[in-house]
Amino acid sequence: MYGFGKFVCQQTSAPLGRGCSIGVIKGAYICKHMNHYKYCSIFCKLISFIADINSLDVLAMAAEKRKLEEVIISLREENNKLKCEQMHLQGSLSNKSSMRYDNLKTEEFKYYTGFSSATFNVIYQFLVPVDEPFEYSKNVSSLRILSMKDQLLFVLIKLRQNFDFKQMSRLFGISPQDCSVIFSNWINFMFYHFGSVPIWPDRSIIIDKMPQKFKEEFPTTLVIIDGAEVKIQKPSSLTKQSQFYSDYKFSTNLKGLVGIDPRGSIIFASMLFSGSISDNDITHQSGFFKILKEMIKEGRIHEGDGVMAEKGFRIENDLEKIGLKLNMPPFAPASGQMKTSEVKMTEKVAIHRVHVERAIARVKKFKIMDNRIDLSLFSAINQIWFVCCFLTNFMPFLIQD
């Protein structure tokens, strides 16, 4: 058994080395009265040292320990304070050298975002009625140095210029990982916010704002529709390749349906479908007919009003069922010779229908939609597409009349 500070023989109760036979094996003391070895050479010295310390020494050491702990806490607080000051200074330097709303010149706004600084502020006021309109899905350290205007600027530059996140990180002085998180959270927020706004005006407003020439030739035609195709990276799966392949564009695409009013503003934008879908199928699957029925029921469209489209949209019967008519170029007869009236009708439709193609071209001025879309953005492609369509309505009227 053990004594305080010494080993004690379990049979004689005497300290080891006094009254018991001691042997030495490799420098360790061994009690021969016991059935096992007690190695005490180092441990006994340590216990003896502790026993010699009196209670006053213990109290003094405890007080010293408390003092050291207080010093450590104080140093940690000072260290944290210095880190905050360092981050603030780095943020100030970063703000001066990086892309920021306050640093951008008037002419640079138009180049980087496609909007003037005044229009940018209109979009900001529309999107951000409060300081924090949404919560991030992940913690983003860069939010300390990016204001809400800087974040919106970041998103618009990404949409307009389609810089990769590595280049965006250099522009804004933040990490590529933070770039990805900021973009995905903002594009989802913009999609839901824009999607909650009804963009199809009432019939009376559309007719009142019609260009004069359009009003003379198609006074009750309220919407012009066409398909828009967006290129994507070729999938590795052959099945996916065949689904996304467009015979019209000879590439792997996604396809959406776009509708504009006679002034060229986008009033309908469907979600994106595989590039192989036909014009007839996309009008049904996009919910276009469903919206028309609801608007007739609400009185926002009247029976007898028209829809303008190109020849690929064979939807006359579908429109007739809900009381609307289709304005489209007539088909050439089997003889190959069109009547004079048919030629004039073709010219009239072509003159006005071309504006829906111009509206789609505006969407594709956002280079993220014009370039081949990376598969890494595929999960948010519908959000990106709709946001770009909606943003064109902040631009001036396509047809100035």
Q: Running DSSP on this structure, what letter comes out for residue 307?
A: E
Write down which residue in 138, 170, 195 finishes a domain.
195
- 231/374 same-domain check: yes
- What is the number of residues in the chain? 401
**Per-residue confidence (pLDDT) for residue 338, from 0 to 100:** 78
pLDDT above 90 covers a percentage of the chain that reads 50
- The predicted pLDDT at position 225 comes to 96
**217 and 183 part of one domain:** no
Type of residue found at 258? V
**Residue 35 confidence (pLDDT):** 42
Q: CB-based contacts of 50: which residues, under 8 Å, 6+ apart?
A: 5
Asked if 240 and 387 sit in the same domain, the reply is yes
Kindly state whether residues 323 and 367 are assigned to the same domain. yes
Cβ-contact 121, 153 below 8 angstroms: no
Query: What is the pLDDT confidence band of residue 351, given thresholds at 50, 70 and 90?
Result: very high
pLDDT of residue 106: 84
Q: Which residue has the higher pLDDT, 116 or 131?
A: 116
Q: What is the span of the domain harbouring residue 291?
A: 203-394
Residue 345 has pLDDT above 90, yes or no: no
Same domain, 214 and 133: no
Confidence band, pLDDT 50/70/90 cuts, at residue 144 = confident
Which of 133, 167, 195 is the C-terminal boundary of a domain?
A: 195
Chain centroid to Cα 10, Å, comes to 76
344 and 236 share one domain? yes
Predicted confidence band of residue 20 (pLDDT cuts 50, 70, 90): very low
Amino acid at 84: C
Rounded Cα gap, residues 142 and 267, in angstroms = 36
Considering its fold, how many domains does the chain have in total?
Answer: 3
Question: Average pLDDT in the 192-220 region?
Answer: 93
